[in-house]
Amino acid sequence: MSLEKNLVISSSRKLNSKKIMIRIILYTFLIINSIIVLFPIIWIIGSSLNPGDSLYSSSMFPKNPTFIHYIELFTKTDYPIWYINTLKIAFANMILSVILTSFTAYVLSRFKFKGKKITLLTILILQVFPSFLTLTAVYVLLMQLNLLNTHLGLVLFYSAAQIPGNTWVVKGYLDQIPKSLDEAARVDGASNFTTFTKIILPLAKPIIVFLALTSFTGPWMDFIFQRLVLRSADKKTLAVGLLEMVTGQSNTKFTTFAAGAILVAIPIVIIFVFIQKYIIEGLSAGAVKS
């Protein structure tokens, strides 16, 4: 009996030591990743608090920190106009994308019709190609529709470009909601629209919130298409306006640029903190495609 006990004790010790080693490796990996992620964030925050305009003389922890660059953003630049323009485009795209994508995903998830498989296959193929490959065609189309240098043109482009990828994610989530709920609603005399808005949408809240977030952050972080479409100063967005601070021989306001970049990130961070629960649920459930 004593021999068996010794064997059990030695094996348990080996298991415990193995678990400890695995935890040490995992925590070391997480700490290294955290440092890699946090280093540029801390550096740009410190740069925004440094006096002067040059990044070469900036330090991560300034000796004489100042908020003058944040003040200059709102007093000496068009930063408030850029912020409002970007917020307007992102919010409009969020509303339109949620409406278009949710209805499209509901139709593909619930109804059988001719050409459904071809439609799903086409949407799947469209995800392979990045949206910037269509920039030339979209530019010509917007020019013919007199939508160049307009926020409406940007909203229409973003909403259409996000439909393929988002539709698959939302459809995967809706496929997990029992179809018996739709059938019961129809027995009670509810229309398809009523069934979708009153029954399906409340159950699909996590994926709708995730869809709204991704639709909002897309235009908020985009630069290429905004640079291509927007021309006049009153139409510029944050990405376009901030870049012009550090491009060209006369534009060298790098520390002011850093301050602007910090303010750009704040709304997204706040949104992620408050709705991260729905983001996780939407990603985990919507990832199942059928």
Q: What is the mean pLDDT of each run of 10 residues along the chain (290 residues)?
A: 53 66 87 89 86 73 85 89 93 93 89 83 77 80 90 90 85 86 84 87 86 88 87 88 75 81 85 73 51
Which residue has tokens 């977030």?
213
Residue 13 exposed, middle or buried by CB count within 10 Å (0-12, 13-18, 19+) = exposed
Q: How far apart are CA 198 and CA 14, in angstroms?
A: 56
- The alpha-carbon radius of gyration of the chain (Å, integer) is 26
Residue 280 tokens read as 């996780």
How high is the pLDDT of residue 20?
79
Q: What is the pTM of this model?
A: 0.80
Q: Can you say whether the dihedral through the CA atoms of 183, 187, 193, 194 is positive or negative? A: negative
Tally of CB atoms within 10 A around 200: 20
Both structure tokens of 164:
């393929």
Tokens of 197: 């808005």
Evaluate whether 220 touches 86 at the Cβ level (below 8 Å): yes
Question: For residue 81, what pLDDT is reported?
Answer: 93
Q: How far apart are CA 154 and CA 142, in angstroms?
A: 9
Per the CB < 8 A criterion, the answer to whether 229 and 139 are in contact is yes
SS3 176: coil
Q: Residue 230: which of 102, 49, 87, 85 has the closest Cα? A: 85
Q: What is the pLDDT of residue 286?
A: 46
Task: State how far the Cα of 192 lies from the Cα of 200, in Å rounded to an integer.
Answer: 10
Chain position carrying tokens 């030339």: 136
Q: If you search the block for the tokens 């029992």, which residue do you land on? A: 178
pLDDT in the model for residue 101 = 92
